[in-house]
Amino acid sequence: MHSKKEKTVLKAFIGSILILLIPMTSFGQEAKIHSHNDYLHKAPFWEAYANEAASIEADVILQGNTLYVAHEKESIKEGQTLTTLYLDPMLKAKNLGLGTLKPTLLLVDIKTEAYSTLDKVVEAIKPYGALWEDQENPFVKIVISGNRPKVEDYPKYPFPIFFDYQSIQDTSNLPLEKIELFSLSFKNFSQWNGKGRLVDEDLTKIKSVLDLVHGLGKPFRFWATPDSKTSWKALSELGVDFINTDHPYAANAYLSNLNDRYYQTPNLRKIYKPTFERDGISGPVDNVILLIGDGNGLAQISAAMYGNGNQLTLTQLKNIGLIKTQAADDFTTDSAAAGTALATGNKVKNRSVGALPDGSPAKNLPEILSSHGFVTGIVTTDNLTGATPGAFYAHRTERDMTEEIASDLAKSPLNLFIGGGKNDFTRFEKDETINLSQAGFHLTSSLDALAKSSSEKVGFFASEDELPKVMNGRQGYLRDATKASLQFLESKNKPFFLMVEGAYIDSGGHINDSETVIEEGIDFDQAIAEALRFADQNGRTLVIITADHETGGITLPQGNLNDRRVELEFTTEDHTAIMVPIFAYGPQAGLFRGIYENTAVFTKINEVLSPYLK
C-alpha cells in the first residue's frame, strides 16, 4: 500500500507521463485501437492507455511460478511480468483516476501450455478485483488468446476471464457469453500491403467474415495487418472493430480526427467557363485583376476542386506557372513578406508590410500605377489592416503595428477598399475613419451603394471586427465585393488595378480544418469567376490568380469523387515553402508561364502595362 504522500507524488508523475503521451487533440472514434505486442513499447501499458487503446496485448510465458511478459523464453527479462507491466499499472490508473478509465481489454497471449498458464493467470489476478468490481461496466477484462483451453472449457473460468476466438469454420453452439471477440490473420484474406486500395475480391472476403461475426453480436480483429494510415482507415471504414497496430500514438492521432479531416461539400457551386477569345493574345492590357488566395497551394486548390464536383472556374485556365515564395530573411515566408513581394517586387523580411529590409518604404503597384492615370482598389475577407492587403498601401516594418498600418490607408492613392475590421480604425486614439473621409473616401453603407457611387474614392467596412468564415454566414461576400468593385472601377473610364484576397483559406490551414480550407477555396473561386466574366466582357483585362504561400503542408491521401468527399492530411499548422501555382487569363497571359520568384509577378505586371508607364 502507498501512503497518501506517495499516492500524490505517484499521481503527479504518472499524470506528467500521460500529458506527454496524449495527443493535443483527441476526439472520439468508431474503430478501437489494439496495441499489438504492447510490451515491446518504451512505456508498456501507459503509452497504449494514454492513446486510448481499447485492447492491449501482452505475450505471456509461464516459467517456474512467474508469468513473464515476452515473446519467447530467450527474450525474458527479469522483473517484466504480467503483474509489474500491466496489472499494477492498471490498478494505479484506476485508483488514481488517471486517463479516461474507458473499458479496456488486456489480451493475454499465452505462449506456454494453456491450462497451467491460465490457472496461474487466474491466481495472479485475484488481488486486482477493483479493476472489474463493476461487472456491468468493468474497467478491465482479461481476454485469453494464443494457447487456449478447449472451447467447451471456456465457461469453467470465472469473471473477468474471456476468450479470443480464432475460427469461423464452426460457429454453432459456441459459448458466446465467454467469447469477447473474434480474431483472424489478415493474410488468410488478402496480401494487401497497406498501400493503394484493397482489390474487390479481398473486400468481398473481408465483408463476409465481418458480417458473420457481427451477426453473432461480437467484435472482430485482424492480426498481421499492414500497419499504415491507409490500412487503419480502410479497415476502420470496413467495420473492423479493433485496429491492430504497433504504433498506438500515431494510430490514435490519425483515426481520432479522421472525421474532421474527411470533408464532404454540402452544395455544389456553379463554375464559369471562360470563352478564351482573348486569352494569350499579344493585344493591349488596360486592366489587371490580381487575386491572391492566402495559403492556397496546389493541395488546397485540388481539395476545393474535388469538393465542388471535380471542377472549379480556376481549373479551366490554360496559362499556368509556379512561383517561389522565400522571404529575404527566411526560407519560409509569412503573408507580410509574400504580400509585399507581390505588391512591390521586393524581397523583404518576414513581418514587414511594404517596408524594405532597411525600413524604408517599398513603392507598391497602386502607388506606381496611380501616377500613370490608373484607378486602383483592394478587396479582402481579412481585416483591412491584415498583412496581405496592407502590403498594397502601407509601409511598416512590423505587421502588428495595426494602428500605424490603419493610418497609412488615408495616405494611399487607392480609389477603393473593401474589407473587415473597422475597429482597427477606431479603437486607437485617432479615429482613422475621419482621416479617410478627409482624404476623399466616401464610406458607403453597402456594396450596392459602392458599386453605384460617383465618388472618386470609396470604401466599405464589411464588419466591425473580423468577418465570419463562409460556413458561419459569409456566403457570397467575396464574389459580390469583387463584382461591385469592378462595376465601380469600370465606371471611371480609366485603366485600373484591383487586388482581391481570399484570406481564410490560410486560416483553415493554420487550424488544420478541412471544411474551412475547402469551403473558403470554393468561395474564392466564385470571386475568380466574376473576374474572368468581366475579362471576357471587357477584352482588355488580364486576370492573375496566385497565392502568397502554402499553409498546412496539406496532402490528399483519399477521397471519393462521386460524393465529393476529400480527406486532407496536415503536416504543420504553419506556412510551408512549397512553390504555389499562378494562373493567368486574358491578353499576354502566356507571360506568366514558367517557374520564377514571387517578385517577378510585380515585374511582369509592369511589363504588361508598360505602354502606360512610359
> Model confidence over 223-243: pLDDT tens digits?
999 999 999 999 999 999 999
Question: 286 and 247 in contact (C-beta within 8 Å)?
Answer: no
**What confidence tier does 29 reach under pLDDT thresholds 50, 70, 90?**
very low
User: What is the per-residue pLDDT for 614?
Assistant: 85
CA–CA separation, 408 and 362 (whole Å): 13
Average model confidence (pLDDT) for the chain? 94
As given in the structure block, the three cell numbers for residue 380 are: 479582402
CA–CA separation, 333 and 192 (whole Å): 41
Sign of CA dihedral 230, 232, 233, 235: positive
Residue among 484, 497, 532, 476 at smallest CA distance from 373: 497
**In this prediction, what percent of the chain has a pLDDT beyond 90?**
93
**pLDDT tens-digit readout, 488-531:** 999 999 999 999 999 999 999 999 999 999 999 999 999 999 99
Cell 493474410 belongs to: 187
Question: 21 and 47 in contact (C-beta within 8 Å)?
Answer: yes
**pLDDT tens-digit readout, 564-614:** 999 999 999 999 999 999 999 999 999 999 999 999 999 999 999 999 998
pTM of the model: 0.87
Domains of the chain by start residue, with CATH: 28-256 (3.20.20.190), 264-272+286-568+586-592+599-613 (3.40.720.10)
**pLDDT tens-digit readout, 276-302:** 999 999 999 999 999 999 999 999 999
Mean pLDDT to the nearest integer, 91-115:
97
Residue among 115, 103, 109, 220 at smallest CA distance from 157: 115
Q: Known binder of ligand: residue 294?
A: yes
With a cut of 70, say whether residue 20 has pLDDT above it.
no
Question: 104 and 114 in contact (C-beta within 8 Å)?
Answer: no
Burial (CB count within 10 angstroms: exposed 0-12, middle 13-18, buried 19+), residue 492: middle
As given in the structure block, the three cell numbers for residue 121 are: 493467470
Q: Which amino acid is at 334?
A: D
Angle of the 248-255 helix axis to the 229-238 helix axis, nearest 10: 60
**pLDDT tens-digit readout, 66-88:** 999 999 999 999 999 999 999 99
User: What is the per-residue pLDDT for 210?
Assistant: 97
Question: 97 and 18 in contact (C-beta within 8 Å)?
Answer: no
Q: Known binder of ligand: residue 575?
A: no
Q: Which amino acid is at 96?
A: L
CA–CA separation, 69 and 38 (whole Å): 10
Residue 351 per-residue DSSP state: T
Mean pLDDT to the nearest integer, 245-250:
96
490-493 long-range contacts, CB within 8 A, separation 24+: 490/534, 490/538, 491/454, 492/375, 492/415, 492/456
Q: Known binder of ligand: residue 402?
A: no
As given in the structure block, the three cell numbers for residue 343 are: 505588391
**pLDDT tens-digit readout, 338-361:** 999 999 999 999 999 999 999 999
Residue 248 per-residue DSSP state: H
User: What is the per-residue pLDDT for 30?
Assistant: 67
Q: Known binder of ligand: residue 482?
A: no
CA–CA separation, 32 and 241 (whole Å): 6
**pLDDT tens-digit readout, 2-13:** 444 444 434 444
**What confidence tier does 170 reach under pLDDT thresholds 50, 70, 90?**
confident
Q: Known binder of ligand: residue 506?
A: yes
Biggest alpha carbon distance in the chain? 98
**What confidence tier does 32 reach under pLDDT thresholds 50, 70, 90?**
very high
CA–CA separation, 567 and 315 (whole Å): 20
With a cut of 80, say whether residue 21 has pLDDT above it.
no
**What confidence tier does 543 reach under pLDDT thresholds 50, 70, 90?**
very high
Lowest-confidence segment of 260-264, 351-355, 374-378 by average pLDDT: 260-264
User: What is the per-residue pLDDT for 267?
Assistant: 87
User: What is the per-residue pLDDT for 313?
Assistant: 98
Q: DSSP characters for 99-150?
A: S----EEEEEEE-S-HHHHHHHHHHHTGGGGGGGSSSSS-SEEEEEEES---
Angle of the 229-238 helix axis to the 200-215 helix axis, nearest 10: 50
Q: Known binder of ligand: residue 548?
A: yes
Q: Known binder of ligand: residue 36?
A: no
Peptide bond into 160 cis (omega under 30): yes
Q: Which amino acid is at 149?
A: P
Q: Which residues are catalytic?
A: 335
Cell 517596408 belongs to: 355
Q: Which amino acid is at 500?
A: V
With a cut of 90, say whether residue 112 has pLDDT above it.
yes
Residue among 471, 513, 482, 521 at smallest CA distance from 294: 521
User: What is the per-residue pLDDT for 11?
Assistant: 44
Q: Give the number of C-alpha atoms closer than 13 A to the C-alpha of residue 50, restricted to the C-beta side.
A: 23
If one counts every other C-beta atom within 10 angstroms of the C-beta of residue 40, the result is 15
